[in-house]
Amino acid sequence: MTKTTQQLTFSTRIDIEEGVRKELIDILNQQLADATDLFTQTKQAHWNVKGMDFFQLHELFDDLAKRARNFADLLAERVTALGGAALGTVRMAAEATTLPEYPLETVQGHEVVDLMVERWAAYAASTRAAIRRSGELDEPTTEDLLTEISREVDESLYFLEAHVQRQ
Does 43 score more than 80 pLDDT?
A: yes
CA 8 to chain centre: 21
Biggest CA-to-CA distance, the chain = 55
pLDDT of residue 9: 73
pTM confidence score: 0.93
For the segment 50-54, the average pLDDT, to the nearest whole number, is 96
Average pLDDT value for residue range 32-38: 98
Q: 81-100: per-residue pLDDT in tens?
A: 999 999 999 999 999 999 99
Quote the mean pLDDT of the chain. Answer: 94
pLDDT at 4 over 50: no
Cβ atoms within 10 Å of 133's Cβ, excluding its own: 19
Q: What pLDDT shows up at residue 166?
A: 79
Instruction: Give pLDDT, residue 2.
Output: 44
pLDDT tens digits, one per residue of 105-115: 999 999 999 99
Integer Rg of the chain from CA: 17
Is it true that domain 18-161 has CATH number 1.20.1260.10?
A: yes
What does the domain layout of the chain look like in residue ranges?
18-161
